[in-house]
Amino acid sequence: MSEGFFDAIKAGKIKPPESAKTLGIDILSHDPATHTIELEFDGRPTFANPIGIVQGGFLAAMLDDAMGLAAASTMNVGEFAPTLNLNVQFHRPAQIGKIQGTSRVIMRGREVLQLSAELRQNGKVVATATATSLKRTM
Amino acid sequence: MSEGFFDAIKAGKIKPPESAKTLGIDILSHDPATHTIELEFDGRPTFANPIGIVQGGFLAAMLDDAMGLAAASTMNVGEFAPTLNLNVQFHRPAQIGKIQGTSRVIMRGREVLQLSAELRQNGKVVATATATSLKRTM
């Protein structure tokens, strides 16, 4: 059996990419049965928009990163799944500070992955997203 | 007549927010008749995904920022327009480096703004987006 991509990330064999470090990602848990990931991001002062809250685009980046990890949890080392389409709904402002997230695989085809994610702050949903990814081998 | 928000940005009276600085934004031109903005972003090494290209989420952040400026070009100082919904299509990989963009207002209602944007690298489109924003007064 080939090595799971997500297990290699968790074991530190695959280092987090720069994009994940920039977003301050912390993987809290991973349910291999449902491909659901619980994680936390750092809403940094460098992400602030003109009114001092996290610019929506950086929430989109966090949601994309979270769904990328859910996709990775279905793959082996050497596979990757570029995002084709990302749809984000903004529910309420996110203050500078920690932001919790959940991402999952909602449909796992042979090539196509349908993904979803949400971000929360103080227990309230700040943004949700869906995405479609296409599995590829390097 | 109240002062245009975008003119105040261009005149340096309103400083770029941290989010725009993080994305390395440079406003190249602004057509006040069509509310079309030409701009450039910096696809930085800190935005790289595991395969070394710009993580799609950071392209989403650039597109959101570009559309935010197009929205601002219709507004006066003291008004703002939070994004309700952001839809991004990824066309091809974006390498680390400069990324050009165009954003425009495609429908300007009394409260609702429909926006679109594209990002290009070496003359080729790397990502496109649409967004819906709702005008508010601070």
Among candidates A54, A79, A69, A25, which has minimal Cα distance to B83?
A54
ipTM of the complex model: 0.89
A interface toward B at CB cutoff 8 Å? 14, 17-19, 21-23, 45-51, 54-58, 60-65, 68, 80, 82-90, 93, 138
Tell me whether residues B86 and A90 touch, CB distance under 8 A.
yes
Q: What is the pLDDT of residue B101?
A: 98
Q: In chain B, what are the domain boundaries?
A: 5-137
Structure tokens at A121: 């702050």
- Decide: B47 and B119 in contact? Cβ < 8 Å: no
Q: How many CB atoms lie within 10 A of CB A138?
A: 8
Q: Could you tell me how many CB contacts below 8 A there are between chain A and chain B?
A: 121
Among candidates A76, A69, A84, which has minimal Cα distance to A117?
A69
- Decide: B99 and B56 in contact? Cβ < 8 Å: no
What is the residue-wise DSSP string for chain A? -PPBHHHHHHTTSSPPPHHHHHTT-EEEEEETTTTEEEEEEEE-GGGB-TTSSBPHHHHHHHHHHHHHHHHHTT-BTTEE--EEEEEEEE-S---SEEEEEEEEEEEE-SSEEEEEEEEEETTEEEEEEEEEEE-EE-
CA B55 to chain CA centroid, Å, is: 17
Mutate to test the interface with B, among A6, A44, A49 (most CBs of B within 10 A): A49
Residue of B nearest to A91 (CA): B84
Q: Select the residue of A18, A65, A87 nearest B87 (Cβ to Cβ).
A: A87
Q: Tell me the pTM.
A: 0.92
Residue of B nearest to A128 (CA): B85
Q: Select the residue of B21, B60, B80 nearest A60 (Cβ to Cβ).
A: B60
Structure tokens at A31: 């349910």
In chain B, residues with a C-beta closer than 8 Å to the C-beta of A45 are 18
CA A64 to chain CA centroid, Å, is: 5
Residue pLDDT tens, chain B, 138 long = 456 777 777 777 878 889 999 999 999 999 988 899 999 999 999 999 988 999 999 999 999 999 999 999 998 888 888 999 999 999 999 999 999 999 999 999 999 999 999 999 999 999 999 999 999 887
Write down the CATH number for the domain with range B5-137: 3.10.129.10
- Decide: B117 and B83 in contact? Cβ < 8 Å: no
Each residue's pLDDT tens digit, A87-122: 999 999 999 999 999 999 999 999 999 999 999 999
Structure tokens at B87: 């839809």
B interface toward A at CB cutoff 8 Å? 14, 17-19, 21-23, 45-51, 54-58, 60-65, 68, 80, 82-90, 93, 138
- Decide: A96 and A52 in contact? Cβ < 8 Å: yes
Each residue's pLDDT tens digit, A11-55: 778 788 899 999 999 999 999 888 999 999 999 999 999 889 999
Q: What is the pLDDT of residue A2?
A: 54
Give B35→chain A minimum CA distance, Å. Answer: 20
In chain A, residues with a C-beta closer than 8 Å to the C-beta of B63 are 57
Tell me whether residues B82 and A56 touch, CB distance under 8 A.
yes
